[in-house]
Every structure is written in structure tokens, then in C-alpha cells.
Amino acid sequence: MRSKTHDHPYPVIAAYGTDLMRTCVLDLGDAGFAWIRSPGPAMATPLPAPPASVRDLISRLPRDAVRPALPERVQDGVRYDAPGPVSLAGALLTGDDPARTGAAPLLRSVGRTLRRVHESPVPADVAARPPRGPARLAERLSAKDEVGRTARLRTLIDEVLGADRLCRVSTWCEGLMRTEGAPVLLHGGPSLGALVPDRSDPGRGALFTGEDVTPGPWTFDLGWLLGEILELGVGLRAVRPGTPPPGDLARALFAGYGRSPVPSVGRAAAVRILTHAYDFAAFAGWHEESLRRSLTLVADLIDSDGAAALTW
């Protein structure tokens, strides 16, 4: 049911989230849609917005079917203008056919867009901080006193992964958090949940960009998104056996990027999947079957040194 809030005159057509992040989608009529993302009760700080140098750089990138959408500050959150009310992740989770949603062409365009971001100079005022995802996971893996659902998850992780595998993941986190050498400008958190297809033209869309921009290795962005593609694909095939395998989407992403995947991309994918398992258990709820499925996927990635992510 549509509703209105006291903060704005537009209908709210979707509102959802976890203790970490909340999302509200507004219908702007002919102007499209506004997505407002704000911190949940478990996030102690406002969502970051990019500096003016990044905004200028991103806005001058060549236009593609998927355009980077930049955020505007809204109190302690951010607002993105988008051409649709549902993310690609949301469409796939509700059973939409990937071909009908234009998923593969969208991912190909995302690959091209990420390549252009990576080939842009890193502005001098972009802080050399590690990507937030691996930093959060590294902190959790080193925690001594987990409580509640995260303690329960740690027990499951110890059962499925074991100490040796966790030690390797910790090493991979450290590698992704380094910014020495010749780092590229990273998107920092590309996601199917931040990719919004155009409601009137599913082959086009917007990729929310700016909250997590940071220097780092190119493999991070590709691996972060690949991990989500693999995890979502495995999960959907478990509940809907006729769901196409995730290989088409993964191949489209790398075809657009114009570079072959390497094992370090698979390592980043494993970090992404394990980070999401912690986030889900800590801030959303407990679903042991899906968590165990994700951890089994992580185990395969660790045992192959990331190469299993490349065999689609």
C-alpha cells in the first residue's frame, strides 16, 4: 500500500532494511524514483558521500546503458535518483526471468562502467582507506567475544570452514585492504542491490556509486560483485531448480570489463560471501540452511585458492 511520510510529499512504494541499513523508495511521478538509504540502528555513523572531485570525475565518464548515479546528502543518509523502483537483486529474488530483466546486458554495461572508473585518476582528496567490506570482516574474524546470532554463526563457521580456512580468509582480507603500489579508483561496493533497471527499458539502468569510493586493487570490485552473483545464483537454484546458472551473468560482467578473471578475483568473492553471511546473521535474521549453503561455497573458493569462482 502506498503511504506518505511527514518528510516529503511523495508516495512511499517500498520500505525495507536491516539493523545495518534502511531503504525507502519514493515515486516521483514523471521524474522517476528516489531511493533514500539511511543507517539502521546498528550503524553508528552517517552514510558517507563522495567529495566534489569524485562527483566531478564520475559525472564526466562516457555514458553507457548503465550510468553511475551519485548520492545527495539527506540528513544522516543519502538519496539516489533512479529510473526504477526495484533493484536487479530484488527482481531476481522475486522470480523474474534474468532474460526478461535484461540482467546480462546490464552486467555487461556495469563491467564497462567499472573499467572506466578504474582507469580514472585517483583524486588527491580521496582517503586511502580500505574498502569497508573486508575491513568489517577482518574485525569480526579477530573478535574474541561474539554474542547472540554472530556467536551462533561463528560456531557454524568453525564447523563448515575450520581454523585453517579462516586463517586464509583473514590473509585475503589483509590483501584487499592494502592500498600501496598502484591502486585504482574503486567503486568500493558494487552490488546487484545497487543496480536499478529502468522500468521502461530493462536494458538500461543506474548503479548507485559514491558511498564507498576508495583506492585499491581492481580485483576487489569485480570479485565483490562476482561473489554476490555466485551466492545469489546458488541460493536461487536451491529453491527454484529451473533457475539459470550464474555463469551467464558472470561472463557478461567480465566481457564488459574487457579483462579475464584471475584467482584473486575469486578470493575477493569469498570475502564478499562471508561478509554477507555475517551481515545477514547479525543484522537481518537466522536461516541456517542458506547460511550453510553460503559457507560451503566459501569453502570451495578457499580450497581452490579462488579458482572455483572462475569455473562457471
pLDDT tens readout for residues 122-166: 998 887 788 888 988 998 888 877 777 788 899 999 999 999 999
Q: Residue 7: what pLDDT? A: 59
Quickly state the pLDDT bin for 181 (edges 50, 70, 90).
low
Give all domains of the chain, ordered by start, each with its CATH number: 63-69+86-310 (3.90.1200.10)
Residue 290 has pLDDT above 80, yes or no: yes
CB 302 within 8 A of CB 270: yes
Residue 63 has pLDDT above 80, yes or no: yes
Residue with the larger pLDDT of the pair 239 and 289: 289
Express as a percent the part of the chain with pLDDT over 90.
68
Residues 74, 40: Cα–Cα separation, whole Å: 14
Q: For 22-56, what is each residue's pLDDT tens digit?
A: 999 999 999 999 999 999 998 888 998 999 999 99
Q: Residue 1: what pLDDT? A: 33
Mean pLDDT of 181-201: 92
Q: For 86-115, what is each residue's pLDDT tens digit?
A: 999 999 998 877 767 789 999 999 999 999
Quickly state the pLDDT bin for 244 (edges 50, 70, 90).
confident
CB 35 within 8 A of CB 197: no
DSSP 254: H
Instruction: Outline where 119-184 has alpha helix (H).
Output: 132-141, 148-160, 162-177
Residue 179 has pLDDT above 70, yes or no: no
Q: Residue 5: what pLDDT? A: 40
Residues 231, 307: Cα–Cα separation, whole Å: 15
Residues 59, 122: Cα–Cα separation, whole Å: 15
Residues 6+ away with beta carbon under 8 Å from 158:
166
Residues in the chain: 312
Q: For 196-238, what is each residue's pLDDT tens digit?
A: 999 999 889 999 999 999 999 999 999 999 999 999 998 888 8
Residues 299, 233: Cα–Cα separation, whole Å: 16
